[in-house]
């Protein structure tokens, strides 16, 4: 059953598109101090790929920072140090994954071994056999495209896993993961951490009086107003229903209270528009809570916010309680 579900999920991936991506022409950069050899490689690779060549490693590095799928590097170059160049590529986050196809002299084994050790992806002896060059280039580009695909897929999956689909805010899973990290750092450094718990007032009436779709519209507009009135470091999350949390790193209680008040006003000051043109007034009750150092727990942190919201509801709603 698990395998069934997994293959159904894989069905969401366009396998044909992936195949096209992997076999499409690549951007190949040649770095070689020997112009005649480089020109010969250019002509051969240019039949199947977009090709450029450089004799200067600085110029090559600039290009490699862009959209290059493969670097063909002459490991026997004398005008610059090719091994140092490989080491440099591998030490920088931006070029660490760039495939490098190294051309080596068969009688210079130490260079070959050192190159492989430093992270050359594949090698080819000089003088270069063009058929083998094309085959190895194709293989490296295919691997690189697949790695790009996996990285993008992971990124998109993570994004989906922590995003609330209705509002686009972070979801509860994000909040839980983030809270654990905030707590760990707080216990180490004693930095101030606060959160707002927001519960829309009488939201049932919105659904009952205007319909569930209108309710969803209100939730989306509410999420927009919250997002627009918190700071860049704040992390707005939707817990579910009409309950939201804003996580506030590096924020003491009084600063959190000020922002809570700003959000409350932004919700209350202008009516919400519904798709059918009607408008309605919305208000929110907000509880503020802050971490209290050693001995405090995440459960207690949330509970204090919860109790503050309860107090806000009890004392008339549309207010912030610390």
Q: How far is the CB of 196 from Mg ion (least distance, A)?
A: 14
Kindly name the residue from 221, 242, 243, 311 that is annotated as catalytic: 242
Closer residue to Mg ion in complex, CB, 243/296:
243
Interaction with Mg ion in 229-258: which residues (CB under 5 A)?
242-243
Note whether 197 binds Mg ion by CB under 5 A. Answer: no
Closer residue to ligand GH3 in complex, CB, 100/239:
239
Site string for ligand GH3, 284-313 (x = CB under 6 A): -----------------------------x
CA dihedral 16, 20, 23, 28 (to 10 degrees): -150
Partner whose binding site includes residue 207, from ligand GH3, Mg ion, none (CB under 5 to 8 Å by kind): ligand GH3
Site string for ligand GH3, 187-226 (x = CB under 6 A): ------------xxxxxx--x----x--xx--x-------
Closer residue to ligand GH3 in complex, CB, 204/303:
204
Q: How far is the CB of 267 from ligand GH3 (least distance, A)?
A: 13
Q: Is 242 a catalytic residue?
A: yes
- Kindly give, in sequence order, each residue whose CB lies less than 8 Å from that of residue 225, ignoring residues fewer than 6 positions away: 263, 266, 267
Q: Which residue number places its CB atom closest to ligand GH3?
A: 215
Q: How far is the CB of 284 from Mg ion (least distance, A)?
A: 8
By rule CB under 6 A, what count of residues binds ligand GH3?
15
How far is residue 39's CA from residue 252's CA, in Å, rounded to a whole number?
64
**Which residues sit at the interface with Mg ion, rule CB under 5 A?**
199-200, 203, 242-243
Query: Which residues are the active-site residues?
Result: 242
What does the binding site for ligand GH3 look like in residue numbers (CB under 6 A)? Answer: 199-204, 207, 212, 215-216, 219, 241-242, 313, 317
């Amino acid at each position: 059953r698990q395998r069934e579900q997994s293959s159904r999920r894989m069905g969401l991936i366009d396998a044909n598109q992936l195949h096209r991506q992997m076999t499409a022409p690549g951007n190949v950069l040649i770095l070689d101090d020997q112009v005649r050899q480089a020109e010969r490689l250019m002509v051969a690779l240019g039949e199947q790929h977009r090709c450029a060549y450089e004799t200067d490693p600085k110029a090559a590095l600039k290009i490699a920072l862009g959209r290059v799928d493969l670097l063909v590097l002459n490991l026997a170059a004398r005008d610059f140090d090719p091994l140092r160049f490989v080491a440099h590529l591998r030490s920088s986050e931006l070029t660490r994954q760039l495939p490098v196809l190294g051309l080596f002299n068969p009688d210079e084994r130490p260079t070959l071994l050192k190159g492989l050790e430093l992270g050359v992806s594949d090698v080819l002896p000089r003088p270069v056999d063009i058929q083998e060059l094309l085959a190895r280039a194709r293989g490296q580009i295919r691997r690189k495209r697949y790695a790009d695909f996996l990285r993008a897929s992971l990124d998109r999956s993570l994004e989906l896993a922590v995003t609330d689909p209705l509002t686009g805010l972070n979801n509860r899973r994000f909040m839980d993961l983030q809270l654990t990290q905030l707590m760990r750092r707080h216990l180490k450094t004693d930095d101030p951490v606060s959160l707002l718990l927001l519960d829309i007032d009488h939201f049932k009436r919105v659904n009952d009086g205007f319909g569930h779709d209108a309710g969803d519209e209100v939730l989306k507009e509410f999420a927009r107003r919250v997002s627009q009135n918190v700071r860049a470091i704040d992390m707005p999350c939707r817990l579910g229903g009409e309950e939201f949390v804003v996580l506030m790193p590096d924020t003491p209680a009084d600063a959190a209270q000020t922002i809570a008040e700003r959000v409350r006003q932004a919700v209350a000051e202008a009516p919400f528009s519904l798709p059918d043109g009607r408008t309605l007034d919305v208000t929110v009750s907000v509880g503020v809570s802050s971490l209290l150092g050693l001995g405090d727990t995440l459960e207690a942190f949330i509970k204090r916010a919860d109790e503050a919201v309860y107090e806000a509801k009890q004392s008339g709603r549309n207010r912030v309680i610390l």
